[in-house]
Structure 1
Amino acid sequence: MKEILDKKVEKVTISSRLVSSPCCIVNSTYGWTANVNWVMKAQALRDNSIMGYMMAKKTWRSPYCGDTGKGQRPTKRTKDLVVLLLETALLSSGFSLENPQNHSNPIFHRHTILTHSSPSR
């Protein structure tokens, strides 16, 4: 998972504390919270160099990021699923997405597949 999330998070760790969700996003000690992130993005005179530095300090935690598939190249489906999980974890942690359309398209696609394959009423 680290190679898939390399540019999106600082660190990928295994967490045994997660019970009801498959992953979570944790800020580093000096990273901005989701609310401060939102406020700083809304500033008219913001400094983009500081924005990039402070926003990039996130850690992905999941109980599923062990050595499974080590040495194998991840498939497109695996990459898409990991990115979908990351974006969902960001949203549930209060962060905003750079491109929300990229997050919603796979969900709508799966919904379309499910509704067209279910029996008609």
Structure 2
Amino acid sequence: MNLAEIVSQFESGEAGTDAYVELRAQCLPLVEKDSANAAAYFLIANFSRSYVMLYEEEAVTVEVARKAKTAMLDYLHRIVAAQGGNAEVRLAAINAIAADYLHSDKIF
């Protein structure tokens, strides 16, 4: 499974913690399979882990779940778009995501 397929699956699924568990489980093997994009997969896997750790034992409002899913999909789409580029393009995408996250509500 490649990242575009993973994104499609995540996008069409529910916004609960199970989706993030699955997203993490799908991204981690890609760290080893696709070393050129390993940092991006690792970043997404850890965002997913953080979401699960924050929300697995508490009720999440629909608004929070949607906001988190929207943010994650934004990051995922940016990574997919950058994968066709050279190393500079891929690194710039990851750096932009890290900067955006730093200034975000840190929902995950």
What TM-score do the two structures reach when normalised by structure 2?
A: 0.35
Higher relative contact order (CA 8 A, sep 6+): 1
Please state which structure has a larger fraction of its residues in helix: 2
What TM-score do the two structures reach when normalised by structure 1?
A: 0.32
